Amino acid sequence: MILLRRQWQKLLEFLFPPETDKWLAVFRIGMGLQVVAYALFLRSDWHSLFSTTGKGLVSRELGEAIASFDSPLIPKLGWLVAFGQNVGLGEETVLSLTWACLLCMGSCLVLGLFCRPAAIIAWFLHVCAAESGGLLAYGADNFMTMALFYLMLSPLPDRYCLDSRLVKTKPTDPRLLGFWRRVLQIHLCFVYFFGGLAKLLGSGWWNGSNLWRSLIRPPFNLLSPDILVRFKYALPVLGISICLIEVGYPVFIWMKKARFFWLVCILAMHAAIGLTMGMYLFALVMIVLNLAAFGVGIRVPWHLAGGTRHSAQFLPKQQLSP
């Protein structure tokens, strides 16, 4: 019984470490930028992506039918269009308003204005868009939905946002802040472990051919194959390194001595994916997630003054829980 109680206490200490809201500010601003970039990148194709049969490239209704097969409760743009029609707005107007609203919510998140409502609306609109364009969705959409879901549930506002300056708010419980950061950290460990494991099971990651294939296939072929050929002996090393960095993430990211190195490797990997394959949205969301989860407050090995401090030491006195 005592052993069980001790384990329970250990679990609570792990899940509820005291934290400052710095990570949340990074997460909020990062996701705000992500939402803004998402809206701007899709600006010219927004109607082609989400219009109904006869107007878009692939009918929105098809994506929504697939989503509804899983569950009719999954949010979709069709709900907004139907609502718009009830108040006399056409499909095109509703889609344009949705786009503008998404851009606006992203800007609000960056500035820290109406943080919680902005996070909820941004999450809702993004889920609607991702599900309605289900056939055209890719990995970045899942990560964006996931990140906005956590952001919406996190204890906003943080003390760096405009909301906190305009309206005096009660300081958030540091253990609640720690809890949501922990959830984010654990989730990233799942992401990289399973991603790395799946890669290790493919022969192409051991001999570099997967890297070659991923970098020369359209629309990811930003680099000339001739340049890649020059580095052909480095490709197997890079391929294996990617697998090891990913599969080792859940172990080494928790080790104080290895954390900085591992984080830099992961960030470099995502930056490289963004720059060499043109997957800017995917790269940005992964960088934001990593910085928020493990980057804020990290010990830089060569920074003499920055010894490891318990996160509670960063807290202003009034924020510490009793």
Partner 1 sequence: MISKRIYVAWVGIHFFLITAVCFAGLFSLVAERATILPSALDTYARKAELLAASLLGKHAASTSPVRRSIATYLHAAGIQSGYTFFAPNIPGYHKLIFELNYQDGRVEYESPHFSGKAAALRLDSLLARLGDNRYEPLREVVVKMLALSIWRERPDVKKIRATFGLVSPPSISEFEQGKGDSFQPLFSYDFSLRNDEKR
Ranges within 125-154 binding partner 1 (CB under 8 A): 127, 130-131, 133, 135-139, 141-149
Choice between 63 and 84, CB closer to partner 1: 63
Structure tokens at 300: 């830089």
Distances, alpha carbon 272 to alpha carbons 83, 138, 191, 228, 242, in Å: 42, 18, 18, 14, 11
18 lies in the site for partner 1, by CB under 8 A: no
Question: Which of 99, 114, 179, 260 forms a contact with partner 1 (CB under 8 A)?
Answer: 179
Alpha-carbon dihedral sign for residues 68, 73, 75, 78: positive
Choice between 37 and 111, CB closer to partner 1: 37
Question: Which of 6, 7, 10, 41 forms a contact with partner 1 (CB under 8 A)?
Answer: 41
Q: Which stretch binds partner 1 (CB under 8 A): 21-29, 205-213, 262-270, 290-298?
A: 205-213
Distance separating alpha carbons of residues 38 and 1, to the nearest angstrom: 51
217 lies in the site for partner 1, by CB under 8 A: yes
Q: Which stretch binds partner 1 (CB under 8 A): 49-57, 100-108, 254-262, 304-312?
A: 49-57
Distance separating alpha carbons of residues 118 and 124, to the nearest angstrom: 10
Distance separating alpha carbons of residues 296 and 177, to the nearest angstrom: 13
DSSP, residue by residue, 84-131: HHHTT--HHHHHHHHHHHHHHHHHHHHHTSSHHHHHHHHHHHHHHHHH
Choice between 16 and 314, CB closer to partner 1: 16
11 lies in the site for partner 1, by CB under 8 A: yes
Distance separating alpha carbons of residues 28 and 113, to the nearest angstrom: 11
Structure tokens at 280: 């800017």
Helices 174-200 and 139-153: crossing angle in degrees, nearest 10, is 160
Choice between 101 and 176, CB closer to partner 1: 176
Q: Which residues, 250 to 289, sit near partner 1 by CB under 8 A?
A: 278-281
Q: Which stretch binds partner 1 (CB under 8 A): 27-35, 159-167, 211-219, 310-318?
A: 211-219
Question: Which of 82, 90, 92, 190 forms a contact with partner 1 (CB under 8 A)?
Answer: 190
73 lies in the site for partner 1, by CB under 8 A: yes
43 lies in the site for partner 1, by CB under 8 A: yes
**Minimum gap (Å) between residue 143 Cβ and partner 1:** 7
Q: How many residues bind partner 1 (CB under 8 A)?
A: 85
Choice between 216 and 298, CB closer to partner 1: 216
CB neighbours of 78 closer than 8 A, spacing ≥ 6?
60, 61, 64, 132
**Minimum gap (Å) between residue 13 Cβ and partner 1:** 11
H/E segment holding residue 278: none
